[in-house]
Structure 1
Amino acid sequence: MDLPVVVGVDGSEESLRAVDWAADEAALRGAPLRMVYASLWERYEGSLIAQEVGKPAEEVMATDIMGAAERRAHLHHPELRVTTAVLADEPSFGLVNESSTARAMVLGCRGRNAVTELLLGSVSLAVAAHAHCPVIVLRGNSLKTAATAAPGRVVLGVAEKAAGSAAVRFAAEEAALRGLPLEAVRAWRRPAHSDTGHPLLAGGPAHAEEQEAAEVLEDALRDVPEGLEQHRRTAEGHARDVLVAASQDAALLVVGARRRSGRFGLQLGRVAHGVLHHAACPVAVVPETD
């Protein structure tokens, strides 16, 4: 099956920028693009727009939103295979369901006005937490697209058990598609009980923690293709803060989110949740299964 890149649209400028990124992503991968609009957004704004033009709300919203998104996608990629879907679902439910047959999903992080900004932010967070495929949320300067994000690099946040993980594979693939270097980053913390004031103990515990972080990096990247430019970096500090700092001049930040079977609620983890709120570049959240 030729799985598509899926993009969630709602008519906002943020979602149209997500269409730009998703169209580039699909073109880079030689994949079709699927644009999805969850029609229950109409309960917030559709009736007001429909009254102005004298048409049923569903017809107005679906026609106008999907038409604008499709024209946007074909603007730079006229050859792109595009399909559209209007779902009679809540956005988060509909998009998570779509993710089960998607190669990747792209979302903006804001809506059309002060009310829907909060709602769409919640949708992006919920989808990233529960999707079955990698979800790219356009944090930071979303005027950049998948094809124009260079110069830069793809930054991979390396978790404790990253060897052979889906996040590592996705980050390496994204870097190769863009012709960018891959920088793998592993944060480490100085032990709370270390006494760096004593000359015989100074640097001992910290060195051990840093060495362990370096070994995790080596193990994580052992299966990455040799032709891809790779960089490994350890940094002392909280993982969220280290990755947010690394995102300042990155094209894409990739983190894993472990899915635990039978667990309800958000399944992002503190690091993924934190970078989604604070990163300065698009963030890809890649599901990992136990």
Structure 2
Amino acid sequence: MTDWNRTGPVVVEVDGTAENLRVVDYASAEALRTGAELVLVAPYSAHGSYTPMMPEYAPKSSAEPADAALRSAVAHVRHRDGYATELVALAEEGSRLRVLAHAARAARMLVVGRSRSRGPQRLVHTQTNLRLAARAGCPMVVVPLSWQPSLLDRKVAVGIDGTALSAEALEFAFGIAAGREGDLIVVHAGLPAERPFMDEDPECSWISRADYILSETLAPWTGRFPEVKVTRFLSSRPPSAALVHESADVGLVVVGSHSGPLAIDPVARRSVAAMTCPVAIVPHHVTETEHAVTRARAVVPSH
């Protein structure tokens, strides 16, 4: 997929657990706010639980729990929002990665829950979600299973690095902040790789360059969303640490991520794994111009 559908449905993963209903609540609130269709998706495996030690046991179809989870989720949304939101419920056989990516191919947003696992297992699960976001091609919001609505939901933070990787993340963050009638904190973190000149003050030089990057990057979006109050935040911390610090005071953190089947993005991975608020992973789709620049840099002179 090369782009995402800004006017498509909101797609949410359903797994049948009580905690997952909070993830459904998050998705249904976004669908209601934007007037979008809400698509509930329950992936399931075709393999049954039959064992030769119990020859008389006839296991239920693996589709039945998925159907039951969808019925419960639909009833939950109807009880909460009535018929204000158009609903579609889909139970589909296949891996979680394939089913959710297929369901989100024309979505404006994919919403999934964050695992309660800790340590290395959480990083593994987070990397799986990054692969899912890259394959789906649309912004994917990872919601903690403990999430509840709060006044902090009106505050959004986005990390930018001054490259094209930030383009879709900024668009998504400004759109969410405007829709929630909230504020946006733009975070630019990490010391630059280049060393200052001998007569430059390192700190002042970095601040001036970072401020210039922010001004250039934000100019198109502040003009398009004048109603959004923007606060700039410069930090010499590593980007993931700066974003985790900001996450304590906002309702959503937005990070850009590379698209493609082998998406590996350390900043996004650490951010998703460490934060307690919802995190939106917004894949960057490489343009033809960027492809051309990459190919030009890869050309090695023969002389």
Q: Flag whether TM exceeds 0.5 (same fold).
A: yes
Task: Tell me the distance in 2 between the aligned counterparts of 1:144 and 1:83.
Answer: 24
Hey, what does 2:177 align to over in structure 1?
Answer: 175
Aligned positions of 1:171-250 closer than 5 A: 171-189=173-191, 204-224=201-221, 225-250=225-250
Report the TM-score, using the length of structure 1 for normalisation.
0.82
Shift of 1:55: 6.6
Residue-by-residue CA offset, 1:146-197 (whole Å, 9 max, x unaligned):
xx453651001012225981111110111111121011010031769779xx
- CA 1:214–1:246 in 2, change beyond 3 Å: closer, same or farther? same
Q: 1:234 to 1:21 in 2, by over 3 A?
A: same
**Separation in structure 2 between the aligned mates of residue 242 and residue 10 of structure 1, nearest angstrom:** 32
Q: Aligned partners of 1:58, 1:191: CA distance in 2, in Å?
A: 52
Deviations, residues 39-69 of structure 1 (Å, cap 9, x unaligned): 11x75xx749xx9x97723343023101111
Q: Partners of 2:187 and 2:29 in 1: how far apart?
A: 26
* Partner Cα separation in structure 1 for residue 215 and residue 254 of structure 2: 17
**Residue from 258, 267, 289 that aligns with 2:285:** 289
Percentage of identical aligned residues? 26
Counterpart of 1:96 in structure 2 is: 101
Matched, 1:75 2:72: no
- Of 256, 261, 265, the match for 1:269: 265
What is the CA distance between 1:75 and its match in structure 2? 2.4
Residues 1-290 of structure 1 correspond to what in structure 2 (within 5 A)? 3-40=8-45, 43=47, 47=49, 56-79=60-83, 80-110=85-115, 123-139=128-144, 142-145=146-149, 148-150=150-152, 153-162=155-164, 165-189=167-191, 204-224=201-221, 225-259=225-259, 264-265=261-262, 267-290=263-286
- What is the RMSD of the two structures over their aligned residues, measured on CA atoms? 3.1
Question: In the aligned structure 2, how far is the partner of 1:162 from the partner of 1:248?
Answer: 27
Any unmatched runs of 5+ in structure 1?
Answer: none
CA distance in 2, matches of 1:144, 1:257: 26
1:115-172: CA deviation from partner (whole Å, max 9, x where unpaired) = x999966653431343210000013x74324xx4536510010122259811111101
Distance 1:57 1:121 in 2: 30
Deviates more, 1:249-258 or 1:208-217: 208-217
Q: C-alpha distance in 1, partners of 2:205/2:123? A: 43
Q: Distance in 1 between matches of 2:188 and 2:115?
A: 30
CA contact (8 A) 1:14 1:110 kept: no
Which AA in structure 1 matches 2:38?
A: L
For the Cα contact (< 8 Å) 1:23–1:33, is it kept in 2? yes
What SS does structure 2 have at the residue aligned with 1:138? strand
Moved more, 155-164 or 74-83: 155-164
Secondary structure of the equivalent of 2:19?
Answer: helix
CA contact (8 A) 2:12 2:39 kept: yes
Q: Distance in 1 between matches of 2:241 and 2:159?
A: 11
- What is the one-letter code of the residue matched to 2:213? V
Per the TM alignment, residue 268 of structure 1 is displaced from its structure 2 partner at its CA by 4.3
2:104 is paired with a residue whose SS is helix
Deviates further, 185-194 or 2-11: 185-194
The gaps in structure 2 that reach 5 residues or longer are 287-303
Aligned residue pairs, count: 269
Which stretches of structure 1, 4 residues or longer, exceed 6 Å deviation after superposition? 116-120, 190-195
Q: Amino acid of the residue matched to residue 158 of structure 1?
A: I
- 1:188, 1:209 within 8 Å by CA — same for their partners in 2? no
